């Protein structure tokens, strides 16, 4: 019996030794993970995330301390890879785009997308392909934007009237009036979206519309906001950091108005009281597949419209508020912008969208705000669908890659004087038209790659028109009771800590405002 045991044991021992040697050899050959904080068992670095809010500041601080432009943070069982290098961003979003083109499944995205019905949050697959095609071909296509041109112009005119009426009713109208620029920019962006999507300016009273706007910014803040439940799903029931309840509260507000609009419109098409398409909601309701059936369910329409509304509101309004604040503190920049508008357009008519390609300095100012003051610290997470190597580091399958907007835009290797607001850096020597995106990913004004934002054209139009109309319509300066505009950044996000209040004086003929 002993001999038989030896015959079985010795080969088994040899096999175990060979497997051990092979595993150790393979491990030694595998590239290392990017550097990062030492994780706790099971929870990873979630305790640090809870203790150091906002999380994005903690992440960028330790990356600066470690002098690295790529890091690895384990949150729960997920590897999170923040990136501040333009070269590595190109590797992730261009060279290896096919590997990093999916999205994570998590609590916040699941709630906002109503179970992954809209394009932004969908993992790669047939549903994403369908929704993406609808957006690019029917909702945000050049033909659709051309069709809805007049609605955008109407809101640009309304913006001027909104500010001019405040000047007109002021007791000292010849001295100008202090205007809440944040309220004006957000109202403009919200109104453009509502006119294009619902053919109306207001959902209800001014207070109700303001409530909707605040809810949309709350959704922006908490979606992929590094909440505990996004990384340890079974803890969602406890909602330890409150992210789940905040998202649900915000969604309840938006759906109260958006869903009722969609329901009414669908019924109008069903009963025949509506027969002509007037806005994007009509387009979505009437889309048919090859068999003549509705291409989208009611839930898909509602969810996709909410997603586009949030995307239309946040980026342009934040960029223009920051740009104007910076330019008021540097009057020569504002003078250059005014001179350009007067030269290209004059003062006898208002800026039109057809003028925008020639307003390169205006666009450079907006682009500089996108670079220095992005609306969010990171882009939407990209998930790796396979093991790969980037920048000499091993990136495991399932890792979430976060391209840092502030890390790219303020990278000292990529930009001279990165913390200075300097629009001239974006002007082309040969006079080539300035665009708001950067092909080298030294900044992210809109997302890039196959998951790139389908609304780049609309976002660029809205941002540039908003900036151009404000510059053309009014003379802007620091209110008399202030030494300068306070450019302090908010503690928990990237907005101005306090809304921009600036002194506005009309500079055009009265008939152009009314």
Q: Among positive and negative, which fits the CA dihedral 62, 63, 67, 70?
A: positive
Tens-digit pLDDT profile for the chain (514 aa)? 445 545 554 555 556 556 554 444 444 457 999 999 999 999 999 999 999 999 999 999 999 999 999 999 999 999 999 999 999 999 999 999 999 999 999 999 999 999 999 999 999 999 999 999 999 999 999 999 999 999 999 999 999 999 999 998 765 556 789 999 999 999 999 999 999 999 998 888 888 888 999 999 999 999 999 999 999 999 999 999 999 999 999 999 999 999 999 999 999 999 999 999 999 999 999 999 988 899 999 999 999 999 999 888 889 999 999 999 999 999 999 999 999 999 999 999 999 999 999 999 999 999 999 999 999 999 999 999 999 999 999 999 999 999 999 999 999 999 999 999 999 999 988 878 999 999 999 999 988 888 888 889 999 999 999 999 999 999 999 999 999 999 999 999 999 999 999 999 999 999 999 8
Measured between alpha carbons, how far is residue 438 from residues 86, 326, 364, 414, 441 in Å? 10, 21, 12, 12, 5
What domains can be seen in the chain, in order of their start residue? 31-513 (1.10.630.10)
Joined tokens for residue 339: 């001179």
pLDDT, residue 273, reads: 94
Joined tokens for residue 102: 């999916």
Q: What is the dihedral of CA 388, 394, 395, 398, to 10 degrees?
A: 90
CA distance 1 to 6: 9
pLDDT, residue 7, reads: 56
pLDDT, residue 170, reads: 61
């Amino acid at each position: 019996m002993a001999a038989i045991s030896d015959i079985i044991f010795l080969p088994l021992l040899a096999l175990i030794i060979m497997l051990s040697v092979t595993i150790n050899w393979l491990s030694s050959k595998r590239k290392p993970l990017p550097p990062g904080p030492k994780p706790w068992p099971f929870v990873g670095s979630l305790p640090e995330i809870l203790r150091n809010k906002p999380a994005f500041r903690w992440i960028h601080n330790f990356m600066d301390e470690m002098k690295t432009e790529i890091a690895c943070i384990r949150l729960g069982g997920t590897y999170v890879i923040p990136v501040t290098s333009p070269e590595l961003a190109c590797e992730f979003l261009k060279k290896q785009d096919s590997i990093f083109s999916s999205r994570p499944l998590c609590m916040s995205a699941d709630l906002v997308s109503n179970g992954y019905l809209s394009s932004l949050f969908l993992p790669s697959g047939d549903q994403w392909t369908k929704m993406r095609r609808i957006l690019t071909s029917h909702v945000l296509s050049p033909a659709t934007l051309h069709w809805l041109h007049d609605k955008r112009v109407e809101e640009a005119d309304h913006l001027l009237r909104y500010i001019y009426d405040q000047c007109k009713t002021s007791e000292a109208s010849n001295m100008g009036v202090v205007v809440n620029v944040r309220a004006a920019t957000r109202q403009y962006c919200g109104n453009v979206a509502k006119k294009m999507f619902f053919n109306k300016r207001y959902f209800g009273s001014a207070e109700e519309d303001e409530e909707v706007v605040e809810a949309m910014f709350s959704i922006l803040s908490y979606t992929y906001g590094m909440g505990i439940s996004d990384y340890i799903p079974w803890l969602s029931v406890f909602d330890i950091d409150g992210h789940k309840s905040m998202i649900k509260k915000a969604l309840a507000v938006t759906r109260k108005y958006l869903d009722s609009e969609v329901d009414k419109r669908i019924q109008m098409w069903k009963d025949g009281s509506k027969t002509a398409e007037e806005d994007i909601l009509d387009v979505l309701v009437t889309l048919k597949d090859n068999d003549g059936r509705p291409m989208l369910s009611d839930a898909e329409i509602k969810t996709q419209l909410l997603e586009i509304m949030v995307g239309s509101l946040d980026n342009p309004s934040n960029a223009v508020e920051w740009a104007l604040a910076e330019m008021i503190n540097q009057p020569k920049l504002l003078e250059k912008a005014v001179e350009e508008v007067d030269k290209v357009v004059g003062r006898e008519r208002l800026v039109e969208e057809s003028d925008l390609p020639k307003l390169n300095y205006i666009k450079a100012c907006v682009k500089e705000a996108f670079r220095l003051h992005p609306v969010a610290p990171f882009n939407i997470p990209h998930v790796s669908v396979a093991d790969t190597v980037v920048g000499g580091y091993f990136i495991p399958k399932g890792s979430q890659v976060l391209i840092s907007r502030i890390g790219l835009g303020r990278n000292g290797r990529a930009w001279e004087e990165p913390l200075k607001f300097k629009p001239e850096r974006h002007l082309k020597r040969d006079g080539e038209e300035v665009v708001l995106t950067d092909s080298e990913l030294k900044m992210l004004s809109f997302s890039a790659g196959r998951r790139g934002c389908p609304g780049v054209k609309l976002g660029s139009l809205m941002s540039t028109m908003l900036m151009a109309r404000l510059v053309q319509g009014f003379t802007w300066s620091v209110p008399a009771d202030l030494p300068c505009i306070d450019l302090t950044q908010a503690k928990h996000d990237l907005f101005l800590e306090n809304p921009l209040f600036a002194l506005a004086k009309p500079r055009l003929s009265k008939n152009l405002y009314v």
